[in-house]
């Protein structure tokens, strides 16, 4: 049975991007220009994923109103995991998207080559359509080897981060770029070790613990790092077994840092998201997948480029997939 990708946009570059997404995700593509037409399709047909031009607040509001009138924002036909919002400017200007009941994914429309960006993002869309979106192998080019590193103690984090940096330098990444990726990996692993653990009541148990404290990573505290490089993109996943990532808090952290902290990391405040905004601004993309009380995987993607300017300005996205 063919799945349908719905694009709501008049822009030719969005259509080229969506076509490549559809091919990679093995979907049929429908294109409409107006939110009301899109809402009517959503009400009548099974739409698996939606790419929506939300370049202005007015465009988003028109979409929200149309969906509310056609099916209702909280209808069983509406799943926030299916909505992918397209914009041409950064996350700091989209509080109305971050707070939207429809928010699932944010795509920064700096495609470069729309077809190449669509092929890359199509793997994310394909993963979101599976029963569970876990697993790095499905997010990187088919046939790419995924290396798995199991950490037994938090003191091994620096060694793991250095191993990633050295691996990328050997793969012809510039040292400066490899360092940016390594810093992102360090952030992901620290979050998995210190921010993810919760008790039976959902209270964080290590978030206030100094990150230099040795932590035994056994049983539920086990943390894994998965690394893959397909010759174009490097992707690194940090995995934990608590499944405690909170979508509202995550996006609140990231958007708050963008609007009020000017991308500065506040080391006095614990919690996932504190350093992730800086990683995103530095060129990284994120895919957050979390099943409540079971597992969380946070994957960061970077494209290999010839210089830092291209690296920083590469195609980027923040995608979330939550299961309860």
Segment 194-236, tens digit of pLDDT: 999 999 999 999 989 999 999 999 999 999 999 999 999 999 9
Q: Are the beta carbons of 311 and 175 closer than 8 angstroms?
A: no
At residue 280 the predicted structure's pLDDT band, cuts being 50, 70 and 90, is confident
- The two tokens of residue 110 are 């700096």
pLDDT value of residue 253: 74
pLDDT digits (tens, 9 = 90+) for 247-262: 888 887 776 654 444 4
Q: What pLDDT sits at residue 324?
A: 87
Tokens coding 289: 């997948």
Distances (CA, A) of 143 to 121, 164, 227, 231: 17, 20, 14, 12
The contacts found for 203-208 with CB under 8 angstroms, 24 or more apart, are 204/244, 204/270, 207/270, 207/271, 208/270
Output the pLDDT for position 257: 53
- Two tokens, residue 74: 């909280």
Report the alpha-carbon distance of residue 244 to residue 168 in Å, rounded.
30
Same domain membership, residue 165 and residue 88: no
- pLDDT band at residue 270 using 50, 70 and 90 as cut-offs: very low
pLDDT over threshold 50, residue 293: yes
| Same domain flag for 156 and 243 | yes
How does DSSP assign 226-245, residue by residue? EEEE-SSEEEEEEEESS---
Residues 163 and 274 in one domain: yes
Model pTM? 0.92
Residue 176 has pLDDT above 90, yes or no: yes
Task: Say if residue 47 is in the same domain as residue 88.
Answer: yes
Contact predicate 85/54, CB 8 Å: yes
Give pLDDT, residue 1: 59
Q: For residues 116 and 17, is the Cβ–Cβ distance under 8 A?
A: no
Question: What percent of the chain stands above pLDDT 70?
Answer: 94
Where is pLDDT greater, at 123 or 79?
A: 123
Residues 94 and 155 in one domain: no
* Nearest-angstrom CA–CA distance, 108 and 97: 13
Band of the pLDDT at 9, cuts 50, 70, 90? very high
Picking from 243, 188, 250, 240, the residue whose alpha carbon sits closest to that of residue 217 is 240
Beta pairing, strands 295-303 & 233-240:
antiparallel
Please give the residue range of the domain that contains residue 260.
Answer: 137-323
Q: Among 94, 128, 162, identify where a domain stops.
A: 128
Say yes or no: 124 and 154 in one domain.
Answer: no
**pLDDT for the residue numbered 262:** 43
Residue that terminates a domain, selected from 128, 148, 182: 128
54/200 same-domain check: no
Both 264 and 184 in one domain: the answer is yes
Q: What is the pLDDT of residues 132-170, one digit of tens each?
A: 999 999 999 999 999 999 999 999 999 999 999 999 999
Region 106-130: mean pLDDT is 95
Both 121 and 258 in a single domain?
no
The tally of domains found in the chain comes to 2
Based on the fold, state whether residues 86 and 225 are members of the same structural domain: no
**Mean pLDDT over residues 12-30, rounded?**
97
96 and 173 inside one domain: no
CATH number of domain containing 160:
3.30.565.10
Count of C-beta atoms within a 10 Å radius of residue 23: 15
Same domain, 163 and 116: no
Domain's final residue, options 100, 128, 156: 128
- DSSP letter at 91 equals G
């Amino acid at each position: 049975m063919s799945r349908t990708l719905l694009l709501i946009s008049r822009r030719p570059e969005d259509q080229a991007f969506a076509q490549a997404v559809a091919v990679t995700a093995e979907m049929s593509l429908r294109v409409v220009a107006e939110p009301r037409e899109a809402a009517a399709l959503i009400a009548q047909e099974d739409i698996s994923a939606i790419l929506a031009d939300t370049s202005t607040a007015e465009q988003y509001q028109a979409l929200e109103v149309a969906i509310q009138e056609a099916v209702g924002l909280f209808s069983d036909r509406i799943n926030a995991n299916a909505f992918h919002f397209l914009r041409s400017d950064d996350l700091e200007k989209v509080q109305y998207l971050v707070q939207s009941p429809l928010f699932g994914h944010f795509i920064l429309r700096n495609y470069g080559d729309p077809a190449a960006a669509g092929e890359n993002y199509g793997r994310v869309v394909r993963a979101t359509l599976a029963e569970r979106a876990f697993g790095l192998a499905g997010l990187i080019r088919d046939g790419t080897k995924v290396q798995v590193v199991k950490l037994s103690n938090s003191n091994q984090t620096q060694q793991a981060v250095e191993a990633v940096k050295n691996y990328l330098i050997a793969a012809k990444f510039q040292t400066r770029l490899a360092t940016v990726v390594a810093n992102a990996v360090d952030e992901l692993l620290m979050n998995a070790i210190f921010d993810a653990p919760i008790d039976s009541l959902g209270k964080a148990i290590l978030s206030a613990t100094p990150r230099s404290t040795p932590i035994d990573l056994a049983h539920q505290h086990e943390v894994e790092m998965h690394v893959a490089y397909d010759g174009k993109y490097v992707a690194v996943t940090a995995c934990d077994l608590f499944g405690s990532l909170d979508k509202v808090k995550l996006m609140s952290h990231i958007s708050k840092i963008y609007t009020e902290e000017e991308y500065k990391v506040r080391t006095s405040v614990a919690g996932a998201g504190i350093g992730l905004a800086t990683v995103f601004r530095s060129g990284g993309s994120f895919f957050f997948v979390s099943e409540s009380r079971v597992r969380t995987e946070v994957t960061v993607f970077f494209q290999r480029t010839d210089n830092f300017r291209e690296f920083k300005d590469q195609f980027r996205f923040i995608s979330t997939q939550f299961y309860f």
